[in-house]
Structure 1
Amino acid sequence: MSDTSPDEERLRRLIGAEDLSWLVDRVRQRIARNVPLTGSVSLGDPTAGQRRAVAVLLGRRPPTGTSLTVNLASVDALLRSAGHGGLAAAVTALNGPVASLSVERLRAERAWRQALSPLDTAVTGRPELAEWRSWLDATGMIRRLAPGPAEAAALLASFVAVLDRLPARSIPLGRLAAETCLDAHALDDGRPLSALVLSAARALTGRPFRSESSAESRRAVWAAVGVHLDELSSAVLTLGLAADPSSPLGAVLAAHRGAGEPAILTLRQLRRHAAPLVAERVHLCENPVVIAAAADDLGPACPPLVCVGGHPSAAVWRLLSLLREGGAAFLYHGDFDWGGVAIATALHQRVGFIPWRYSSADYLAAPDGSALTGRPLPTPWSAELSSAMEARALRVEEELLLDHLLRDLRASGPWPSTG
């Protein structure tokens, strides 16, 4: 026994054939867009069956030509005369109600706003992410990572949980993912959440928001917010540091200090040393050349010196944390360029420092370097430095001041002021 009514059966015989489905689809599209059902619709390169179906519907000879054209008013009149209420009523009865595209768009946008709401709330209290938040909308990144609002809501719930932990003091990537997302692989390379968190981490550390393709660059970004991929590849270069000689770390440092040689400390070594490292003053530099020159020039007489090596790794942050717990005051020097300023800003925010030949006066007294490029950044440790760098428009690498830095280290006390 058929479940359809006689009226529905007649309607399906009229316009329900497979060869007329293109016509019904065109009508439904017009209804969805709120376009009047007037004029004609055409089908290019129709089959013989589609030609015959239109001929049967309209009671005429099968049309010829390269396209098939149907006058909607004629079909509407035919359906009304057959008691089916016209074309719009007929296709609705045949295949169900047609959702308005404008209503669907409004509903979808409302769902997207709800999905994005936790992200907006999280960013509101972090002004350093305001520009990044606008960049997300401009690039459509979230909508590329998540096909719909429901998927975006789940993605952003995990993102907010991760963001709340950044910057971290030092945590393995898998542990961070497990604790925030209940999935130790949620932040693995290639996962949508990893791409989103890395872009935010770049914003937090003053880098361009776009993705970087190399594994090394991603490792550096994670390290800059206190997340490490493993404990052995993350390391820090030091000279003249000391620790309790009865501890494994202290024994290593004592041997290197006695020989006047630099020590490369891994994150594994530093994480397994819980006691503070005691030092009154620790000089920090950006580039390894300062460590090498100090080892050559001063050897065992070099005061505590740490190279942050560009954007600090997880090992650097761990070492500075141990030194700060031991009461150390940090003195920092880096390159006079916008990348160097971004590194210094991260250090200033997390551990604080006294500028070591790294003020506006020091910059203006430094030798000429190459052209300064990049986006200007504020310099909170020396308010005038940023303006001076914009005005002079020259980058001064740390190597150009190496003699001055070595003289300061040799004196191991107050260094000459340049103004």
Structure 2
Amino acid sequence: MSGSSTNGPTAGGSVTGSGASERLGRLLGGDETAWLIDRARRRLEQGRPLTGTVTLTTATPAQRRAAEALLGRRAGAGSSLSVSLDEVDRILRVGGIAADGLREAVIRLRGPIRDLTGEKATRAADWKRAFAKLDALISERPELSGWRSWLESTGLVRRLATTAGEARTLLDRLSTVLERLPSPGTRLGRLAAETCADAHALDEGRPLATLALSAARALSGLPYASEGGADARRSAWAAVGVHLDDLSSFVLCLGLPGDDRSPTGRVLSAAGAAGEPCVLTLRQLLRHDTPLRANLVRICENPIVVAAAADELGASCPPLVCGGGRPSAAVWRLLDLLAAGGATFAYHGDFDWGGIAIAAAVHERAGFLPWRFDAASYRAVPSSAPLSGQVRPTPWDPELSVAMERRGVRVEEELVLPELVADLKLRTSS
């Protein structure tokens, strides 16, 4: 740069404080050099050195003139403008404008430099602490490891909690809820009150409820993302034993013996005498505190079996319970009451991986003999419907899962409806 100034270097090579500030403002404080200061500041915030060249691809004439005034020479030609940060740093130091060079100039013009790398590391540490309790729980619950990865990949927690501190509170509560799951026969409000000191913490739409419901689905082998709708929500909670209320959870049955000693017993007696299916709510079953007496109780997955049995057999139908897909809290309660009364169970369901998962849950809790629900029965039914989903074990007949994986078709319960009804009729006549 040429020309003299009363604010230029003194004979000793330094500039007065006010003169240095004025000159710094003229050289780098205007709009035309803002891009250069912005680039330098960004590098400092990222922990990178102020070396090398920065380029402005579409420079205006005013920006080029400002760069030339700073460098004291022409700054090239064309539309782009390149400036050496090393050269700017040297000019500021030698000219006595900023003793510590470009770094000092950036701070004087724009304020303190943020440590973005350090801030990022701090945020990462904060978020890791937010997940600490949940991760400790998952280390002991490997069935939730896939769900934990899904949480990370979808960013669901970060959408529900704006800060790591909020997330830590949310996830700590979630961990407390998960420690209680599965929780057979528990009302949702009670679970929320006992784990979160807030009976509404798991109400639909609350952040904790969103996370807890996805975890419940994971524990039940369902897709982590909610399908939406009250029925899907009710089913997901029911799969881990939790019911939304005593009346929305129910079980369909036919031919269960009743008695005249209790309200539930009288309901069963009346339905049995009429040969009609009976719907029992969880409320009724929770208030029935004595075992229900029966010998062999057959369990089906779909209501159509109960309807067909009622049409064909009416009042002569032997004990039959419908799981209705994933068993509700009412289903579990009824099976528990029957088991306490000495009943044994025989089970049939859909030959698909969802049906196998349902059957496995029933087998684990109540035990059963397969009712046309083994490998030989599966192979005997014609079907061309493709089988999809995750392969699952069949502990009541290990060969069944092997046969299903090899054959690769699904067989819905409706396809063997005549055989199932025939079995019930044979049981009646025997």
Judge same fold: TM > 0.5, yes or no. Answer: yes
The 1:52–1:193 alpha-carbon spacing in structure 2 relative to 1, beyond 3 Å, is: farther
Superimposed CA distance per residue, residues 224-255 of structure 1 (whole angstroms, 9 cap, x where no aligned partner): 11222232222211111234423221221111
Report which stretch shifted further, 31-40 or 8-17.
8-17
> Out of 296, 305, 311, which is 1:290 matched to?
305
Structure 1, unaligned stretches of length 5 or more?
Answer: 1-5
- For 2:295 and 2:131, how far apart are their aligned partners in 1? 48
SS at the partner of 2:297?
Answer: strand
How far has the Cα of 1:385 moved from its partner?
0.6
- Counterpart contact for 2:47–2:115, Cα < 8 Å: no
How far has the Cα of 1:320 moved from its partner?
1.8
For residue 134 of structure 2, what is the aligned residue in structure 1? 119
The 1:59–1:173 alpha-carbon spacing in structure 2 relative to 1, beyond 3 Å, is: farther
- For 2:329 and 2:19, how far apart are their aligned partners in 1? 72
Does residue 290 of structure 2 align to residue 280 of structure 1? no
SS at the partner of 1:395?
Answer: coil
For residue 120 of structure 2, what is the aligned residue in structure 1? 105
Superimposed CA distance per residue, residues 83-123 of structure 1 (whole angstroms, 9 cap, x where no aligned partner): 4311113334562243152x433333333333222222212
> Out of 171, 175, 192, which is 1:177 matched to?
192
For residue 149 of structure 1, what is the aligned residue in structure 2? 164
- Counterpart contact for 2:316–2:428, Cα < 8 Å: no
> Out of 225, 228, 251, which is 1:210 matched to?
225
> Out of 148, 161, 184, which is 1:133 matched to?
148
- Counterpart contact for 1:408–1:414, Cα < 8 Å: no
How far has the Cα of 1:56 moved from its partner?
8.3
For residue 219 of structure 1, what is the aligned residue in structure 2? 234
How far has the Cα of 1:204 moved from its partner?
1.5
Does residue 89 of structure 2 align to residue 76 of structure 1? yes
The one-letter amino acid paired with 2:114 is V
The 1:379–1:47 alpha-carbon spacing in structure 2 relative to 1, beyond 3 Å, is: farther
Aligned pairs for 1:363-402 (under 5 A) are 363-368=378-383, 370-402=385-417
Give the count of matched residue pairs: 408
SS at the partner of 2:182?
Answer: coil
> Out of 24, 29, 32, which is 1:14 matched to?
24
- For 1:129 and 1:414, how far apart are their aligned partners in 2? 48
Superimposed CA distance per residue, residues 125-158 of structure 1 (whole angstroms, 9 cap, x where no aligned partner): 2232233333333434333433443233222111
For residue 28 of structure 1, what is the aligned residue in structure 2? 41
- Counterpart contact for 1:369–1:397, Cα < 8 Å: no
- For 1:359 and 1:332, how far apart are their aligned partners in 2? 10
Which TM-score applies when normalising by structure 2?
0.82
Of all paired residues, the percent bearing the same amino acid is 54
The one-letter amino acid paired with 2:54 is S
Does residue 370 of structure 2 align to residue 360 of structure 1? no
The 1:246–1:46 alpha-carbon spacing in structure 2 relative to 1, beyond 3 Å, is: farther
SS at the partner of 2:223?
Answer: coil
- For 2:20 and 2:366, how far apart are their aligned partners in 1? 81
Report which stretch shifted further, 14-23 or 376-385.
14-23
For residue 96 of structure 1, what is the aligned residue in structure 2? 112
RMSD: 3.3
- Counterpart contact for 1:41–1:72, Cα < 8 Å: no
How far has the Cα of 1:285 moved from its partner?
0.4
- For 1:211 and 1:277, how far apart are their aligned partners in 2? 36
How far has the Cα of 1:287 moved from its partner?
0.8
For residue 39 of structure 1, what is the aligned residue in structure 2? 53
Report which stretch shifted further, 232-241 or 118-127.
118-127
Structure 2, unaligned stretches of length 5 or more?
Answer: 1-15
SS at the partner of 2:134?
Answer: helix
- For 1:9 and 1:342, how far apart are their aligned partners in 2? 80
Report which stretch shifted further, 65-74 or 188-197.
65-74
SS at the partner of 2:221?
Answer: coil
